[in-house]
Every structure is written in structure tokens, then in C-alpha cells.
Amino acid sequence: MPKQSPPADGYNQGIVRLLLFSDIHANLEALEACLDAAPDFDRLVNLGDVVGYGASPNQVIGLLKATEPVNVRGNHDRVCAILGPIAGFNPVAKAAAEWTRDQLSEKNLEWLSRMPIGPVSLPMAPGVQFAHGSPDNEDRYITSERVAGEVMKVYPETSTFVGHTHVQAAFARLPEGVQPVRPEPMRSASRVQRTRLRLRPDASYMINPGSVGQPRDHDRRAAFALYDSELREVRFFRVPYDVAGAQQRILAAGLPQMLAARLAEGI
């Protein structure tokens, strides 16, 4: 597991390393692999959807809570904490949410219910905010430069980290307009793939670290990111994990078979 640094005076200058996890979806095997692969960081920021779909909600919450994360509520967190209607979920998501409600301990249910709705900001990271779907709506998907541009018009000077789509992506608001940007490859001696996005001083960004527990970009590997304000960059990670183990837990719990099958395909 990476070393988590204690609060330091450097925060006053906005120098910070933020580990960005999103859409863990109760996948314990994926969360453990991401924590093992993560570099040193100052704070972990959870962008929402800790639970739902996967079969290890209490174990995932326990492991995540141990890092003392900064939290943003996701739509599955809201529904599983019985803070909103379940009617809008498709049958598979609904079945998983109902199962999760029955499994959650009282303390973990309370922890979920206390999650703040985004956007969330931190004094240690000026000019940065965190949301689940979008700063204006936790259920909104940021899937294109058009949608990102609409949101970024409201927050022209702020970079936003979001989840919800389960796809690693980045959009930049540049003098010439909003456009998707691609990170550059980095060398790695391990099985962990790393890429890097250098942040321009004349731009603001909308960045999605991808999904820890249920990637949907046809890559089954778990995904997360690290924001480094000193280096002015975001590093994206893809990490192999025990997919078969996560699938076995889902099937043993009696959850819909589709939830196990999709993990192998990254969809």
C-alpha cells in the first residue's frame, strides 16, 4: 500500500498529491489492487459510487474509510443509503442496490448517508473541485467536449475531477475552445500502465480518473489517477486485478450474472 503523508505546511502553497478513485462499486479485489499500485499521496479523494453492482460493500467501505478519504456522493451511494428513489435504475442496477441495502451494516449505511453532494473543494487544492457526474448534477454524464464545454462555461477558472462514466477521459478548456486531450505514455517496469497529462497554465480541465471497480472502456483493468499540483500533471493508471475472484463473489451472493460477466470484458 502507498504511503499516505500527514498534513504539511506545503498545503498552504497548494502543493498536494491527490489520489483519485471513482466508481469502486463494491469491488474489493480491484480496490486492493489499486491501493497496492498507487504512488505516495497526501489525500485520497473518492468521487462516488463506492457501492452498488459488486458483492463486497462492507469490506470496501471499511478499507476506504481507513484512508480517511475526502468523499463525494455518487448516485448509487444515494440510492443504497435510501436517500433517493430506486425507480430510475435499470433492473440489474435495482437488484444490486436492493441487495446492497440488505447487506450494509448500520455504521456503513450511516457513513454513506453522510457523504456530501458535489461539488466539493479543498483548501489544500485551490482551483480544483470534485464531483460525481457533474458539478451541477451528480447523475449527469460528461461524455463529450460539447457536454464538458457546457459545464465548464459555469466554472471557467476551475478544474473539475468527476467520475460516473467509468471511462478515463480528459477535456481542456483552452483559448481556442474545449477539446478532448490525451495523456502521453510513461515507462513502467511493472504490469501497471501509466500515462501522464501535463496541465497547461492557461487551461482549465474536466478529468475522469476512470472506474476502480467496473471499467467500461473495453479494458478490464482497474483505473485511477493521481493529481500532482507541484508537477502540474495528472497521472492515469491501469492495474490488473483478480477479476475471477470478484466474479466469484458476485455469483456466490446471488447477484445478476451480468455483473460478473461484464468485469471480464470491461463493459
Whether 129 contacts 155, CB under 8 Å: yes
What's the first-to-final CA gap in the chain, in angstroms?
27
Write out pLDDT tens, residues 206-215: 999 999 999 9
Please give the pLDDT value at position 9. 39
Q: Examine the pLDDT at 7 and tell me if it is beyond 60.
A: no
What percent of the chain has a predicted confidence (pLDDT) above 70?
A: 95
Please give the pLDDT value at position 84. 85
Please give the pLDDT value at position 10. 40
Domain ranges of the chain: 9-124+189-199+211-265
Per-residue pLDDT, averaged over 22-48, amounts to: 98
Write out pLDDT tens, residues 146-171: 999 999 999 988 999 999 999 999 99
Nearest to 192, CA basis, from 245, 244, 247, 235? 235
Q: Three-state DSSP class for 98?
A: helix
* 144 torsion bin: left (phi>0), alpha (psi -120 to 50), beta (else): beta
Question: How many residues are there in the chain?
Answer: 267
What single letter denotes the amino acid at residue 165?
Answer: T
Nearest to 69, CA basis, from 93, 37, 47, 96? 47
Please give the pLDDT value at position 8. 44
Per-residue pLDDT, averaged over 1-13, amounts to: 50
Please give the pLDDT value at position 2. 59
9-124+189-199+211-265 CATH choice from 3.90.420.10, 3.10.580.10, 3.60.21.10, 3.40.50.12780: 3.60.21.10
Write out pLDDT tens, residues 74-127: 999 999 999 988 988 999 999 999 999 999 999 999 999 999 999 999 999 999
Per-residue pLDDT, averaged over 137-141, amounts to: 96
Rounded to whole angstroms, the Cα distance separating 36 from 106 reads 28
Please give the pLDDT value at position 88. 87
Please give the pLDDT value at position 252. 98
How many Cβ atoms sit within 10 Å of the Cβ of residue 90?
A: 7
**Against a cut of 0.85, is the pTM above it?**
yes
What does pLDDT average to over the chain?
94
